[in-house]
Structure 1
Amino acid sequence: MVATTPLDILNFLAARAEEGIDCTLITLVAVIGGSSRGVGAQMAVAADGRRIGSFSGGCVEDAVAREAIDSLDEGWGHVVRYGVGSPYIDIRLPCGGGIDLLFTPRPDPAAIKQALRLLEDRHQAALRIECDKVALVRSAEQAAWDGRALTHCYQPPLKVHAFGQGEDLTAFCRLAKAFGTKVHALSPESETCRELEADDIGTTFLHSRNVLPLAAVDPWSAIVFLFHGRDWEEGLLPQTLALPAFYHGAIGSRRTHAARLEALRGAGVSEDRIAKLRGHIGLIPATRDPATLAISVLGEIIVEYNALASWTYWTGTPLETEAAQ
């Protein structure tokens, strides 16, 4: 894992509760001017001094930790301004802005565990966070801080189902795993599968060009084809386009992608489904080695995943499967 995620913070709170150690949950509820973190960013601090998360490059975290432990001693939550307009004149943010942080001591462990169970089942979870309590909200709609409470949504971690073979697939999967993505490799090469399994990456061996061994895909998952030839795409790609992933992509030149689209039309795939497929994918216009290809494609997927989370945040629209409802 490259850096702390919202899921890590919830797991930290749950783990400390199991140990019988009180914690304070801190949530960024407002930004004045510039800030390196956005509204909804969080940090957790335990009574024994352990902490997770951040709000800057190290400028305020020590002060926040002290305030969090004081909140446990005082037994009540509150909002504190850091940076511009703060009573702590010796603490300044390098961006010149200010942030308002909500300190919530002793968040309900039951609510945290319920949220974690939903996320483990690949559903969104929402917590209503106040000064003195945290509660699970059944409808995952984000609500901004109103001076009394906010509702914060947590989305399931990014998962990628990557089809391919050889070094293009292994480079992508290793990079995705290092980033913290839940990655699943599907390949017709047994040696490639063995290499990835040795790196503790989940794999599925593709026995057939026409049988898709992928039953459950949720709206927080991406599907990417990393084959340089189209033999393995022809039977499998139309089936994956019927799955509810937020991202469908396949590598190849613009000419290759045009031929791919025509093949899909010839196979009777609807235009709605064809429109979901991205071609000539990646943030880097041209790549000539597996490592750069991996960075380029994973970067694009992460941009789309973050945009999906942002869209849900600002519209308050839950992206849930029928099973979650």
Structure 2
Amino acid sequence: MDEDTIDVLTPAPVRALTTDDTIEILGFASACLKEGSDVVLATLVEIRGGAARALGSHMVVAADGRFCGYVSGGCVEAAVAREALLALVKGCDRIVTFGDGSPFFDIVLPCGGSITIAIHLLKDGRPIEEVLRRIDERRPAGLRYCREWQSLQFVEPPERAGWQGGDFLTNYRPRTRVVISGQTVEASAVARLAAASQFDVLVYENGESGRDTVRQVDAYTAILFLHHDLDREESLLRRVLGSPAFYVGALGSTRTHRKRVERLKELGYGNDDIARIKAPIGIFGPTRDAYSLALSVMADVVACRLAIYG
């Protein structure tokens, strides 16, 4: 049976979810498998030139044509879904290239480069379930795709997604948790923006909630002190300086931060601890309204996470 005939027999691809959140995409795969559907996991495994998505980005395609996820800016996803459905009919994995040098001459990437997608028939859902479980526990996870054996297995997370010999490794990390200490209009604005960005948001209006807060902090946590009174932040700030949080920021002018530094030094904190505090908080400033501050703060948090984890 040729591909034109197969194409007539396969369902038309239709987007089921508009998301590029990896955990939501893997969750869709898990749900489809539990429904009894055959499922394909498509992974961006090579980029030449520019690209809209990072290596390791996923799409998931169900046998009925439903799909979600992105491997580009939206220009090849329907074509990838079609190739995934063809792979299901033929019963084997495939590697497909789009863009410059691709046989799909009618599909052009706006960036001018090309991308390669590994299309894998997901025969065993256990590796994905393990990734979802680890992320739910706020622990990183990884998957190894073996092209030769057309298999997928759970592994400890690599530093970066990419090829390792003949296998492609993908890493997954918990979503950013934002802990906000403050009872101010600025704290409310930052909390709303963080929630809209699908971050895990915890707000503590009382700066004395130290023990409860520290238990929530891990390496994927940003801690934001949005008080107008140094006394309100001091107890909690002292607790989190030794935490694994990737970002600690505090509201206040340069003059206010000098007072903060003096207090911490008097309490015995060293330069390395104090240097963890980003103050004045935010990526640009000064700001004169809560919403501008919220944008500045969240941009700084995202930039810091990307610099550390990619």
Q: Deviations over 1:65-85 (max 9, x none)?
A: 100111111121121110001
Structure 1 match to 2:194: 176
Q: Is the 8 A contact 2:145 2:152 kept in 1?
A: yes
Once residues 52 and 160 of structure 2 are traced to their aligned partners in structure 1, the CA distance between those partners, rounded to angstroms, is 21
Structure 1 match to 2:74: 58
Does the residue aligned with 1:8 lie in a helix, a strand or coil? helix
| Count of matched residue positions in the alignment of Structure 1 and Structure 2 | 291
How far residue 56 of structure 1 moved from its aligned partner, in angstroms, is: 2.7
The residue type equivalent to 2:260 in the other structure is: R
Instruction: Return the match for 1:96 from 112, 125, 134.
Output: 112
How far residue 24 of structure 1 moved from its aligned partner, in angstroms, is: 0.8
Structure 2 match to 1:159: 177
2:57 counterpart of 1:47: no
The residue type equivalent to 1:121 in the other structure is: E
Once residues 202 and 123 of structure 2 are traced to their aligned partners in structure 1, the CA distance between those partners, rounded to angstroms, is 34
Distance 1:143 1:300, change over 3 A: closer
The residue type equivalent to 1:19 in the other structure is: E
Unmatched tracts of structure 1, length 5 or more? 189-205, 311-325
Residue pairs, 1:278-297, within 5 angstroms: 278-297=278-297
Once residues 107 and 291 of structure 1 are traced to their aligned partners in structure 2, the CA distance between those partners, rounded to angstroms, is 47
2:249 counterpart of 1:249: yes
Q: Is the 8 A contact 1:252 1:279 kept in 2?
A: yes
> Equivalent pairs: percent with the same residue?
40
Q: Is the 8 A contact 1:124 1:140 kept in 2?
A: no
Structure 2 match to 1:21: 37
Once residues 140 and 56 of structure 1 are traced to their aligned partners in structure 2, the CA distance between those partners, rounded to angstroms, is 23
Name whichever of 211-220 and 228-237 sits farther off.
211-220
**CA-based RMSD:** 1.9
Instruction: Return the match for 2:203 from 185, 199, 215.
Output: 185
Does the residue aligned with 1:213 lie in a helix, a strand or coil? helix
Residue pairs, 1:294-313, within 5 angstroms: 294-310=294-310
Q: Deviations over 1:246-281 (max 9, x none)?
A: 111101111111111111111112322112111112
The residue type equivalent to 1:304 in the other structure is: C
Once residues 129 and 50 of structure 2 are traced to their aligned partners in structure 1, the CA distance between those partners, rounded to angstroms, is 34
Unmatched tracts of structure 2, length 5 or more? 1-16
Name whichever of 226-235 and 86-95 sits farther off.
226-235
Q: Scaled by the length of structure 2, what TM-score is found?
A: 0.89
How far residue 148 of structure 1 moved from its aligned partner, in angstroms, is: 2.9
Name whichever of 51-60 and 237-246 sits farther off.
51-60
The residue type equivalent to 1:176 in the other structure is: A
Once residues 279 and 138 of structure 1 are traced to their aligned partners in structure 2, the CA distance between those partners, rounded to angstroms, is 35
The residue type equivalent to 2:168 in the other structure is: L
Residue pairs, 1:220-239, within 5 angstroms: 220-239=220-239
Instruction: Return the match for 1:144 from 137, 149, 162.
Output: 162
Once residues 287 and 2 of structure 1 are traced to their aligned partners in structure 2, the CA distance between those partners, rounded to angstroms, is 34
The residue type equivalent to 1:88 in the other structure is: F
Q: Is the 8 A contact 1:225 1:250 kept in 2?
A: yes
Q: Is the 8 A contact 2:55 2:161 kept in 1?
A: no
Structure 2 match to 1:267: 267
Distance 1:43 1:2, change over 3 A: closer
Once residues 22 and 89 of structure 1 are traced to their aligned partners in structure 2, the CA distance between those partners, rounded to angstroms, is 29
Q: Deviations over 1:74-116 (max 9, x none)?
A: 1211211100010111111011111011111115211111111
Q: Scaled by the length of structure 1, what TM-score is found?
A: 0.85
Does the residue aligned with 2:126 lie in a helix, a strand or coil? helix
